[in-house]
Structure 1
Amino acid sequence: MSENKKKKKKSKKKSKKKTLKIVLLSILFIILTCMVILGAVILGMAKTAPSVDVKTVTSLSEPTKFYDDKGNLIDEYLTVERRDPVEYKDIPQNLIDAFVSIEDERFWKHKGIDFKRLAGATLGNVKKLLTGKKGFQGGSTITQQLIKQRYFLTDSLTNRLNIERKIQEMYMSLELEKILSKEKILETYMNTIPLGGTAYGVKSAAKQYFNKDLKDLTLTECAFIASCAQSPSVSYGAAKYAYDKKQIHESPRTQAILTKMFENKYLTQEEYDKAISPQLKYSFNHNTRNKMSYEWFSRPVIEVVMNNLKEKYNYSDNEVNALLANGGLKIYTTMDTKLQNKTQDVLNNNIYSSQKNLQAGTTIMNYHTGEVKVIVGGRGEQEALSYNRAASNRFLRPPGSAIKPLTVYSPAIDTKVLTAASIIQDSNLPHDMQVKYSDNGRLYNPQNADRNHYGNVTLRYGLKHSLNVVAVKTIDALGEDKRGLDISMEYGKKFGLQLDNTDHNMPALALGQLDAGESNGTNPLTLSAAYGAFGNNGKLTAPRLYTKVVDRDDKLLLETKTQSRQVISPQAAYIMYDLLKGPVSAGGTGPSAQFGNMSVRGKTGTTSSNKNLWFSGLTPYYSAAIWVGNDDNTSIHGLGSSTVAKLWGNIMKEAHIGLSDKTIEKPEGIVEKPVSSLTGNLVNDFSSMLKGSLTYKEYFIDGTEPTTIEENIYTTARVVRKSDGRYVLATEYSDPKLVEEKVFIKREYTSRIDDSQKHILLPTEYDDAKSNQIPEKKEQDKPNENKKEQNKNNENNPSIKDDNNKNNINNNPNNNKPEKPNNGIEPKPSNPDTNINNNI
């Protein structure tokens, strides 16, 4: 029995050992299997890592650069990140030692991974995980940090698990150390690491915190910059606070780095003792703020380039921003740097006003090619991203009378409804017209700026003197009912004006009193392009702010070409170009725009209450527009549109240095006829004898020239010229040697001439020779000799007629029949003062 028991015990022991062995082998198998699987997973993760490319690692992010029209560097695209690369040999040894001491003390010994540090960090993190403590410790080397920056911060990898990213980071660090030297790795790392504020890289940090070059940093300052790597935003905030409070900053982490440097034998005891005492004084360089050198020009360029890149390559906003910020693009702009600087100087220093914050904006462009040479969006020192008053569609203002060539006179000439010689009666609107354009039951009866009326005038005269009534009646003549407003608005939009339904009214389209909303109005760039069409055969050329964009390898990404569209006929454009010399000539509203011998064309603009002042015009080379006003849309004191015209002339004078005057080419389909400025008709024998300002040669689109000969508004008389130049009627006592027969205008047509022409009115005063009393007149001394005989002669001469038909509008080229007279009855305005528009 005892032997059996012993056998059973031995059998049980063997069974237990066998079971234990099986269990241990199973566990070992499971562990080995897990290790194999884990190894395979790790290997798989590592193998899916991106290839380590030297160019990807070492090429620094380069911001986009801007060049002017002569290829000179003018600007850089500013982002939150400010980088300023530096070579390893130019980095101070103290700065290198500081980074190595605190970030990777065995950097010079490991092959990409510091296993000792990794094990310590892992053990410490496990303890914290078990105890519920926060603040896990990192074990990454400088090489790993660089790999992370260059490969694992992109959008395409954000969905990867952290463990996968860590394994790939370690694998790629080992690979990187095989192909790059330690010095190159450290150089790239120190040029790319974020160090607080807008500083990326040690050179930018030195400028930002201490306004110093790297070589001038003290040991303590080097330690501080290295300290920023752990928590850039905290370091920046603490330093900025100390700077603002004018305090010496105590930085515990800086002192810890100095201690670490001493322990690693990078510092002597003496160097350490000197550096460890608090001595950080900051000198923030405010030039690191996000403002570009040519803010007014470069910002619009960025906006256009971003839109063009998205359209052509279907980029997202993030992709475009990243490309501009880091892609090293080169944008070749159309800006003339010298002219840009001069224009800014003129606006800053040549507007004299008691309103210190009075603002201005201007643009200059070559309307043949579309190249914009100048964009100045404001006066004085401006903050980054502030209002661009010259080129932004987010800053629109009503143009006042500068709108008239676009929405009034161009449609009239282009549609052939009227001609430059058509007669418009400058008088109060007829009652039915006041009712037609009334607003909420209030009759519309606009007045001219000087509140005077000038009788029958030509379109040319109306534009020269910016007569508001003439502008309104011209639009009304474009079509029945309110069709004229429709046509006017169509042309305004073709010229690029931002118009909506609130602008479908006479004050807006005839006088430029647009609703001052965000969606309607204009800016100097739009007006520059619009007026350029008058010198470009009626073609409006789209403004071009850049010619091409290339990448860092000079591969072409974008290129612009001249793009033009026909807005009016070449014939109408040529006539408008000629008409626009009126406002800048003597007696016009903007003669101060003239400079040198250059042909200048243009128009002033003023809105109600003197809130906006404009001048827009062109030469045979360039078009330009200037706006002056207040950002809060309040009235301007002490300035008028003539001031703006003078500014325009001063700026354009600079743009034309070295250029000689030239004429623009006259297109086919233009005829030139001598006409009377009083009637717009072809001259007759009498009017041709008068010549001077009453007759002139006018341009017409072929087929629209007048066919009616000047009616008989003239008479002849025997006169004597006095010593003061006046003519008086001759009497029987007048010296026969002094008596001459001349042509005069009958006095009943006085309203048709201005003060400068009063000398051609039939005199009423008689010669006082040999008598102080008016002698009894003989028949031969009476004007026209015999009225009955003259009237008989007039009846027998169908080409000479009395001016008995005083129409609102005469000489419609599509209808030479006289319109029905209004019987000379002029309606009175219901409230004249409230209907006055001070447009010039």
Structure 2
Amino acid sequence: MFSRTVRRRIKKILLWLEIALIVLLGAAVGIVAGAIYQLSKTLPPEQILASYRPPEGTTVWSSDGVLLAKLTTEYREPVKLEKIPQHLQDAVIAIEDARFYQHSGFDLKGLFRALVQNLRGGDLTGQGGSTITQQLARNIYLTQQKTLARKIKEILLAVQIERKWTKRQILETYLNQVYFGSGAYGVQAAARVYFGKDVGELTLAEAATLAGLPQRPSELSPYTALERDGNLDRTIHRRNVVLQRMVETGKITPAEAQRAMQEPLRLAHRSSPQLGGYLRAKHFADYVVSYLRGKYGEDRVFKGGLKVVTTLNYKMQRAAEAAAREAYRRYGRSYGFSEVALVAIDPHTGYIRAMVGSVHEPYRQHQFNCAVQAIRQPGSAFKFFVYATALEKGWHLGRTVSGYVRPIRDGDKWWSPGGVGNRGTYSLIGAFAASINGAAVNLAMQVGLDDVVEMAYRLGIKQRLLAVPSLALGSCGVTPLEMASAFGVVPANGRRAEPLAVLTVTDSDGTLLESNKPLVRDLKLSPRTIDGLIRLTRAVVTSGTGRRAGVVPNAHGKTGTTNDNTDVWFVGFTPELATAVWVGNRDNTPMRSASFGGTVAAPIWADFMREAIRLAPKRRLPELPRGLRVTEAQPRERTEGDARETLRVRVCVESQELARRACPAVETKEYLRGQQPTGYCTLHGRPPPRDEPPPDDP
């Protein structure tokens, strides 16, 4: 035995060791406490916790209720907890956090239980050690890095969430937040992606399948299993693990589990479907999204849960796409074109009803929208603005204009328009229907090139125009949307509706952020101008270069072909719709010599319009006010002065020139002496004009 002195020394040593140990432990606790305190200061404020909502993508819809685009960084469709079936809630809790309703955010007992179960099963990833609240904290506010600091933050944040939220709030948020693989976030998105149904319709077996995915979503996804293994064995095994765990927690009976295990796994798709982005009418959807980004910003568009209702009619859109793509498939190679653009608007409201920006897929390789971004020369379709200017200045349809143009000096060169028929004299309606280039140039110079430019701007052209003689033949650049809008002024009786793509925008709470009404402006055009344009564009279809559009009831329009056949157009309207069709090559490669607006673009226009006008409310074209209407003269007593001032002549209804026997419709009109037509009808007294003589494009 030790002596008393030795024992005293040992006691002193032990006392100092105890004191040192206490000091060290205190220091360690202090360090850990300080570290935890410092980490706690990096946690999000409590007000952010209280106001958290899972990010939700923006949806873009057609006016007839078809989803066009889903814009999101995460495909998610949040639902209330009461909409989620109880067996899905039970399945998730059973496999992820069986003591969810007992712990306060961190469950040490559950952690050891999961570890023991995984060791017994030989699968260390079988059951998770983190509680549902910890997973929620990690998914919302933290990174996925596996570090001690992140784990401490996760526990602290989970406890903080448990103090602020109810268990129902935590579970609902988790079920709407967690990732289920194949791009699906939340149970509603997962139900649609994997089973093509609403979450409330899931069977017990389907619910167990989904509950098993969040632990390793990329690996356990059924679509991943099919692609990698060629079977669903991995997913089915995980489903059965979930069902067995539900039996152990008393949520289902062994018999219910056995029946669910026998149920085949029927997926909605063979592979992971496209969940977001532009789904339909992709160029139109991109046109809308460009507007939304500019107004609401990128973050709100992709995370704000906006619902956007557009003006597009999807049935019309399908008809437009079918017409454009069928034409490209059948005639693209023979005519030598690679692209088609089509845009249709309601002329009375400006609503864009259909838009084809390209005939090619996939969209990511053909994003350029030729309907609104392609600035192309309109060729003879621009004559619409020349003749509109003349009519507004008081010219009548029977007034004649020469097709011959004296060569015009252009710098050190001389220019004159090409095409056929430039040696004759024509009435306005005859020259327009036959698309006589010389007549259009002469008319533009007589009414004033500056006034033609002003008229084009007035009707809706926004591109820069030069007041030069070749402008009459479309030497400028325009877009199909501009042309459709401009021609739409006629059926709208002189009113121009600004093209409109978005009707309403609401946020995720249903609050209305934006409601757009038609922006319509009266251009104060003369009723005789509108009536004249109706007659001019109708003559093109019945007897002129656009006869292939005549299969559409009440069709009106104008063809256009540029030099070397690089661009061909047909722009026209019915009482219900105004539509522009452009065909060509984006690199300006010329098409075949037989490619004209009347032979290539007009049939596409007709194919679309025949279907589209069936879907639009029926309307009538404007008529001259009764006081301005010229009808067959009624017998009345005349004075000597009357006889000297007016005279009555029989004219062709279409050409407004002196009637021939071949004219199908004739009317008697009264004119002031000297203003009556002097030439006979050029539409019905000679062979019909070619579909479209190519104008010379300087």
Scaled by the length of structure 1, the TM-score of the pair is: 0.60
Cα distance in 1 between the residues matched to 2:507 and 2:683: 66
**Which of 467, 472, 490 is the aligned partner of 1:510?**
472
CA deviation after TM superposition for structure 1 residue 232, in Å: 3.5
Structure 1 residue runs without a partner (length 5+)? 1-5, 123-134, 155-160, 310-314, 515-519, 675-682, 698-705, 714-744, 759-834
User: Which among 528, 532, 548 is matched to residue 488 of structure 2?
Assistant: 532
Amino acid paired to 2:75:
R
Relative to 1, partners in 2 of residues 1:385 and 1:560: Cα closer, same or farther, differing over 3 Å? farther
1:172 deviation in Å? 2.8
Cα distance in 2 between the residues matched to 1:349 and 1:62? 34
Among 332, 346, 351, which residue is 1:366 paired with?
A: 346
**What corresponds to 2:119 in structure 1?**
none
1:400 aligns with 2:379: yes
User: Secondary structure in 2 aligned to 1:229?
Assistant: coil
CA offsets 1:397-419 (integer angstroms, 9 cap, x no match)? 4322212223x3345566x5988
Measured after TM superposition, the shift of residue 199 of structure 1 is: 1.8
* Match of residue 310, structure 2, among 317, 328, 333: 333
Distance 1:684 1:250 in 2: 100
Q: How does 1:277-676 map to 2 (within 5 A)?
A: 283-284=269-270, 288-290=274-276, 291-293=278-280, 295=282, 297-309=284-296, 315=297, 317-323=298-304, 327=305, 329-336=306-313, 339-340=316-317, 353-355=330-332, 360-377=340-357, 383=362, 392-406=371-385, 408-411=386-389, 416=393, 423-427=400-404, 429-431=405-407, 433=408, 435-436=409-410, 441=413, 443-448=414-419, 451-477=420-446, 484=449, 492=456, 495-497=459-461, 499=463, 509-512=471-474, 520-523=477-480, 525-534=481-490, 540-564=496-520, 570-571=525-526, 574-575=528-529, 577-585=531-539, 586-590=542-546, 593=549, 601-608=556-563, 610=565, 612-619=567-574, 622-628=577-583, 635=591, 639-640=599-600, 642-644=602-604, 646-647=606-607, 650-651=610-611, 653-654=613-614, 658-663=618-623
Partners of 2:300 and 2:114 in 1: how far apart? 36
Tell me the CA shift for residue 142 of structure 1: 1.2
How far apart are the structure 1 equivalents of 2:548 and 2:694?
A: 26
Q: Look up the match of 1:200.
A: 185
- In structure 2, C-alpha distance between the alignment counterparts of 1:169 and 1:610, rounded to whole Å: 69
- The aligned amino acid for 2:417 is P
Deviations 1:800-828 (A, max 9, x none): xxxxxxxxxxxxxxxxxxxxxxxxxxxxx
Provide the secondary structure at the position in 1 that maps to 2:488.
helix
- Whether the aligned pair in 2 keeps the contact of 1:584 and 1:601 (CA below 8 Å) is yes
Alpha-carbon shift at residue 73 of structure 1 (Å): 6.2
Residue 426 of structure 1: CA displacement? Answer: 1.0
1:305 CA drift (Å) = 3.2
Match of 2:122 in 1: none
Deviation at 1:322, TM superposition (A): 1.5
Greater Cα radius of gyration, structure 1 or 2: 1
Which residue, 40, 46, 50 being the options, matches 1:49? 46
Question: What secondary structure, in the 3-state scheme, does the structure 1 residue paired with 2:161 have?
Answer: helix
Q: How does 1:747-826 map to 2 (within 5 A)?
A: 754=682
What residue number does 1:692 align with? 651
Determine if contact 2:556/2:573 at 8 Å carries over to the other structure: yes
SS at match of 1:548: strand
* Residues 535-590 of structure 1 deviation map (CA, whole Å, 9 limit, x = unaligned): 55755331112332222333221132433567x6523x852551342242243333
- Paired letter, 1:559: S
Does the C-alpha gap of structure 1 residues 286 and 396 become closer, same or farther in structure 2, counting only changes over 3 Å?
farther
Q: Residues 411, 140 of structure 1: CA spacing in aligned structure 2 closer, same or farther, 3 A cutoff?
A: farther
What's 1:703 paired with?
A: none
How far residue 285 of structure 1 moved from its aligned partner, in angstroms, is 5.2
Amino acid at match of 1:398: Q
User: Matches of 1:423 and 1:530 in 2, distance apart?
Assistant: 26
1-side partners of 2:394 and 2:586: how far apart? 40
Contact 1:340 1:373 in 2 (8 A): yes
Q: 1:563 to 1:467 in 2, by over 3 A?
A: same
Summarize deviations over 1:416-439 as a string: whole Å, max 9, x none: 598867653212x324x1x3277x
Q: 1:248 aligns with which of 194, 206, 231?
A: 231
**Deviation of the 1:113 alpha carbon:** 1.2
3-state SS, counterpart of residue 332 of structure 1: strand
User: Per the alignment, do residues 596 and 528 of structure 1 end up closer, same or farther by CA in structure 2, a change over 3 Å counting?
Assistant: closer
- Report deviation, 1:624: 2.8
Q: d(CA) in 2 for partners of 1:81 and 1:46?
A: 24
Question: 1:143 maps to what in 2?
Answer: 133
**Count of residue pairs the alignment pairs up:** 635
- Following TM superposition, by how much is the alpha carbon of 1:139 offset from its aligned partner in structure 2, in angstroms? 5.0
Change (3 A) 1:49 1:477: same
Compared CA separation, residues 588 and 376, structure 1 to 2 (3 A): same
Normalised to the residue count of structure 2, the TM-score between the two structures is: 0.70
Deviation digits for residues 36-87 of structure 1, max 9, x if unmatched?
756765776679333654x846x78364363627xx5655635453335667
Deviation at residue 522 of structure 1 after TM alignment? 1.1
Return the letter of the residue paired with 1:663. Answer: E
Q: Rate the CA distance shift 1:421–1:307 in 2: closer, same or farther, 3 A.
A: farther
Q: CA, structure 1 residues 757+576, in 2 after alignment: closer, same or farther (shift >3 Å)? A: same
Distance 1:469-1:186 versus aligned 2 partners, 3 A rule: same
Identity of aligned residues (%): 23
For the residue of structure 1 that corresponds to 2:535, the secondary structure is coil
Amino acid at match of 1:306: R
> 1 CA distance for matches of 2:133 and 2:275?
31
Out of 685-694 and 191-200, give the one that drifted further. 685-694
Q: After superposition, what is the alpha-carbon deviation per residue over 1:232-289, rounded to whole angstroms, capped at 9, x for unaligned?
A: 44555xx6566457822554x8757856875786499999999999x98975256545
Q: What pairs with 1:128-277 in structure 2 (closer than 5 Å)?
A: 140-150=130-140, 162=150, 165-166=153-154, 168-175=156-163, 179-181=166-168, 185-186=170-171, 188-205=173-190, 207-209=192-194, 225-226=210-211, 228-235=213-220, 240=223, 243-244=226-227, 247-248=230-231, 251=234, 255=237, 266=248
Counterpart AA for 2:483 = L
Question: Which residue identity is paired with 2:557?
Answer: G
Cα displacement string for residues 81-107 of structure 1 (whole angstroms, at most 9, x for unaligned residues) = 333566768878886676446543543
The alpha carbon displacement at 1:373 in A equals 3.4
> 1:837 maps to which residue?
695
SS of corresponding position for 2:545: coil
The answer (yes or no) to whether the contact 1:147–1:172 under 8 Å persists in 2 is no
Change (3 A) 1:201 1:119: same
**8 A contact 1:593–1:648 mirrored in 2:** no
Describe the SS at the equivalent of 1:113: coil
Partner of 1:773: none
Given that 1:255 and 1:276 are in contact with CA atoms closer than 8 Å, whether structure 2 keeps it comes out as no
Give me the whole-angstrom Cα distance separating, in 1, the residues matched to 2:513 and 2:372. 26
Q: Distance in 2 between matches of 1:755 and 1:412?
A: 20
Which AA in structure 2 matches 1:300?
Answer: Y
**SS in structure 1 of the partner of residue 46 of structure 2:** coil
Q: Matches of 1:757 and 1:685 in 2, distance apart?
A: 31
Residue number in structure 1 paired with 2:662: none
Shift, 1:627, TM fit: 3.5
Conserved 8 A contact 1:367-1:533: yes
Q: CA deviation at 1:469?
A: 1.5
- Contact 1:422 1:459 (8 Å CA) reproduced: yes
Question: Could you tell me whether the CA contact under 8 Å between 2:36 and 2:152 is conserved in 1?
Answer: no
CA offsets per residue over residues 771-804 of structure 1, 9 Å max, x none? xxxxxxxxxxxxxxxxxxxxxxxxxxxxxxxxxx
Taking the aligned partners of 1:640 and 1:610, their CA distance within structure 2 comes to 11
Q: Please say if residues 101 and 257 of structure 1, whose CA atoms lie closer than 8 Å, have aligned partners that are also in contact.
A: no
Q: Distance in 2 between matches of 1:322 and 1:615?
A: 41
Distance in 1 (CA, whole Å) between partners of 2:197 and 2:112 is: 40
Structure 1 residues 83 and 359 mapped into 2: Cα distance closer, same or farther (>3 Å)?
Answer: same
Query: Matches of 1:20 and 1:629 in 2, distance apart?
Result: 93
- RMSD of aligned C-alpha atoms? 5.6
Contact 2:418 2:694 in 1 (8 A): yes
Query: What secondary structure sits across from 1:616 in the alignment?
Result: strand
Question: Could you tell me how far apart the structure 2 residues matched to 1:504 and 1:120 are?
Answer: 85
Partner Cα distance (1:552, 1:230) in 2: 29
2:330 and 2:105 map into 1 onto residues whose CA distance is 67
- Of the candidates 61, 69, 83, which is equivalent to residue 66 of structure 1? 61
* Contact preservation (8 Å) 1:52, 1:175: no
In structure 2, how many angstroms separate the alpha carbons of the residues matched to 1:634 and 1:241?
48
